[in-house]
Amino acid sequence: MRLLNVFAALSGVVALVMLVLAAHALQPAPEDLDRIQLAAFIQLGAAAAGLALANRSGVLNLVAGIMILAGAAIFGGILYTLAITHSRALIMLAPVGGITLILGWVVLVFAKPSA
């Protein structure tokens, strides 16, 4: 579960760095700023979930954490890319990230809480 902790922390770092860049360096258009803020919001929520799950035992907790963090990274990464480069080349992967994120939360429904 140590690796889950590391990736959750990195997710939080990326989200915060993107927010700082958007506020100070990038000067994005309003719709691009909305995309960056949405991506960061999702990533920060996933980071918090990942950190919480890193302290739980059980395979389903690990799988849920991986899915939540991976889904948020894919979805957020696509939004960041779209906001910064305006390239729509990877946009078709956004639903993959979103569905993975949602399914991670569904898996968590069946995971056993730590005792």
The model carries a pTM of: 0.93
At 115 the pLDDT is: 60
Distance CA 102, CA 79 (A): 17
At 113 the pLDDT is: 85
Indicate the domain borders of the chain: 2-110
Report residues of the chain scoring pLDDT below 70.
Answer: 115
Distance CA 76, CA 69 (A): 10
